[in-house]
Amino acid sequence: MSRSSPDGNCTARHEPQPGPPQELLRAIDQLAGRARALDEKHDRIVDGVATLRRRLRDTEDELDQLRHAWLPWQLARKRRLVRHRDSLRAHLGNARGERELTERSIEQTGAALVAHYQAVRALLRPLEVLPMSCPECGQEASPDRVAPAGDGWREGWYECAAGSCGATWTARWSGGAEPVVKVLVS
């Protein structure tokens, strides 16, 4: 894209900056929406579990009051309360299982979202090149390819430029003024 200066004399050419792929941004939006929905579902389940626990506690209290019941209407009420208590226990067990599944889904969605954010961050950060000395002959070499390796690390694939050496190796390095380097000789 060309732009003119305010005085109209000079024209500068600016290349558009590459951004993250639209598929990656759409995936992040979908994952964020799913994370919000899972959080809301988790909150509803937790509220439901609290309600079930309260109702179960109330039912068990009523059963304790009817422990020594002997009149027919008391015995019928006691049987209904026992069935109700058993039903509440079953619902509570199901709600706990659903809560655990939802919590695992929240963790998985969060991990996927973090991975996508890291991929976007790696795409937006320029891949710096780290020239290194050949581990075999000591000649200076630049990587043939550079890629993000995750968590701020970069990875480069090297081939020695000296004709007689022919060594190849892989190196990973961290950012900063004094990068930490890990070399894997192949």
Specify the DSSP element, H or E, that contains 66. none
- Strand order, beta sheet including 153-159: 145-150, 153-159, 168-173, 181-185
Is it the case that residue 13 has pLDDT exceeding 80?
no
User: φ and ψ at 58, to 5 degrees?
Assistant: -65, -40
**Number of domains forming the structure of the chain:** 2
Residue listed under structure tokens 């039912």: 59
Residue 15: pLDDT over 70: no
pLDDT of residue 185: 67
CA of residue 80 relative to chain centroid, distance? 47
Instruction: Return the higher-pLDDT residue of 103 and 131.
Output: 103
Confirm if 48 and 93 have CB atoms less than 8 A apart: no
Q: Looking at the structure, tell me whether residues 148 and 114 fall in a common domain.
A: no
Residue 70's identity, in one-letter code, is W
H or E element, residue 17: none
Report how far residue 78's alpha carbon sits from residue 98's, in angstroms, rounded to the nearest whole number.
30
For residue 13, tell me if it sits in a domain. no
User: CA 65 to CA 59: how far, in whole Å?
Assistant: 10
Structural domain span for residue 87:
18-124
Least confident of 81-95, 101-115, 138-152: 138-152
Domain boundary among 124, 154, 171: 124
Domain end position, chosen among 103, 124, 145: 124
In a domain, 85, yes or no: yes
- Number of other residues whose CB lies within 10 A of the CB of residue 116: 19
Nearest to 127 by CA among 159, 158, 154: 154
27 and 116 inside one domain: yes
- Paired with 3 in beta bridges are 12
Q: What is the pLDDT of residue 178?
A: 67
Task: Give the pLDDT band (50/70/90) at residue 93.
Answer: very high
Whether residues 144 and 66 share a domain: the answer is no
